[in-house]
Homo-oligomer: A and B are copies of this chain.
Amino acid sequence: MPSGTLLSPARRCVIGVDLGGTKTAAGVVDEDGTVHASGSRPTPATAGAAAILATAVGLVAGMLEQARAAGLEPVAVGIGSAGVINTLDGSVVSATDSLTGWAGTPLAAHVAEQSGLPAFAVNDVHAHNLGEHWVGASAGADSSLLVAVGTGVGGSLILAGAPHLGARAVAGHAGHLASPLAYDDGGRPLPCSCGRAGHVEAIASGPSIALLYRRLAGGDGAADPVSAVDVAVRAAAGEPLALRALTTGATAAGQAVGGLANMLDPSVVVVGGGVAGAGDLWWTPFRAALHAELMDPLADLPVVPAALGSGAAIVGAARFAYNRLSAELNAPQEHHHV
């Protein structure tokens, strides 16, 4: 063992966790935002909260071992989770059906008990934004609006270094604005995952793009169960209906983000999520629609792709934990602002 390891104090690290409907991932994140090790497992999404928690706790335990083996001192666990998260106690307020029984879970408290470390939880899109804002596409920006276009359409606004969480921890639902494009040929608003209709998510999300393609192609969906990835591939091959579905989704997303920029005037807009990964066929109509909405003083608004890839929420969840640790040091009896 090199003597330096014995003489210098261990560098601190946080275990960052990204808990999604498909996959749970974790990593060892140091104070510079560097990930020293990471791993992931499928989320047992329909097996109930206990199984989901056990998967996360198991990953955290493995990361703690790796951190200590690397000479790092873990000081907390930060968790970015799907669902509406009460950041004051790290519990799950509500979640979609993709995570069965997840609502009501005392997520942070359970992970803290099992890991022996302070644990903090925040919504995964906010974690994504915190990661990009720390060491990614919006690093150094005063404020940042992140929009993630994937299975759903989510958002997060960072102001003064912290995500705007809202009065009920609901803030960030960028996909649940009315969209002029979220209507069928008969003028009826398309149903949205939130139970309402006519929202951006109902036309711009991956599943919505796939559904639109199947509708344009005249099928009932069962006959040709294409995914959004299939649509992107067919669009790239020049298939007109696939191109039209992808363009429509991108246009709806761009309109919404442009309108939100007029309202929120962020320093930068960061765009992530699987659908935004479809390349120029998506980005070109997205940018065109976004810029068509912007008021003159926003003409130079930077709009950039997310830079950290799938590890962004791990890094951002760790950042959230570091922020909370310093907030507690500075004001031991104040847990309201992060």
Question: A178, B259: Cβ atoms under 8 Å?
Answer: yes
Inter-subunit contact B84/A297 (CB<8 Å)? yes
16 CB < 8 A contacts A-B: A143-B167, A160-B337, A166-B265, A169-B265, A170-B298, A171-B264, A174-B263, A176-B262, A177-B260, A178-B178, A178-B256, A180-B198, A194-B296, A196-B295, A199-B259, A260-B263
B residues in contact with A94, CB < 8 Å:
296-297
How many angstroms between the C-alpha atoms of A292 and B178 in the bound complex? Answer: 10
| Residue contact A177 to B259, C-beta cutoff 8 Å | yes
Task: Report the bound CA distance from A157 to B157 in whole Å.
Answer: 13
- Residue in B closest to A258 when the chains form the complex, CB atoms: B178
* A165 partner residues in chain B, CB cutoff 8 A: 265
A159 at the interface (CB under 8 A from B): yes
Contact A264/B164 with A296-B195, A297-B84 known, Cβ cut-off 8 Å: yes
A173 CA to B166 CA, complexed, in Å: 19
Report whether A166 and B259 are in contact in the complex, using a CB–CB cutoff of 8 Å.
no
The chain B residue sitting closest to A169, CB to CB, is: B265
- Asked whether A293 is an interface residue with its Cβ less than 8 Å from the other chain, the reply is yes
**B177–A179 contact, CB under 8 A?**
no
The interface residues of chain B lying within 8 Å CB-to-CB of A170 are: 262, 265, 295, 297-298
Contact (A262, B167) CB under 8 Å given A84-B297, A196-B293: no
Which of A157, A176, A182, A199 counts the most B-chain CB atoms under 10 A from its CB?
A176
Alpha-carbon gap, A39 to B169, bound state (A): 43
Which residue on chain B has the smallest CB distance to residue A177?
Answer: B259
> Given the interface contacts A183-B180, A264-B164, A265-B166, does A295 sit within 8 Å of B255 by beta carbon?
no
Q: Using Cβ atoms and an 8 Å threshold, which residues of chain B touch A166?
A: 143, 264-266
Cα distance, A290 to B159, chains bound together (Å): 26
Complex partner residue of A259 from B167, B176, B265, B293, CB under 8 angstroms: B176
Q: Is A155 an interface residue (CB 8 A)?
A: yes
A239 within 8 A of B: no
A293 with B178: CB separation less than 8 A: yes
Shortest A293–chain B CB gap in Å is 6
In the assembled complex, how far is the CB of residue A269 from the closest CB belonging to chain B, in whole angstroms?
11
A248 to chain B, nearest CB (A): 14
A142 within 8 A of B: yes
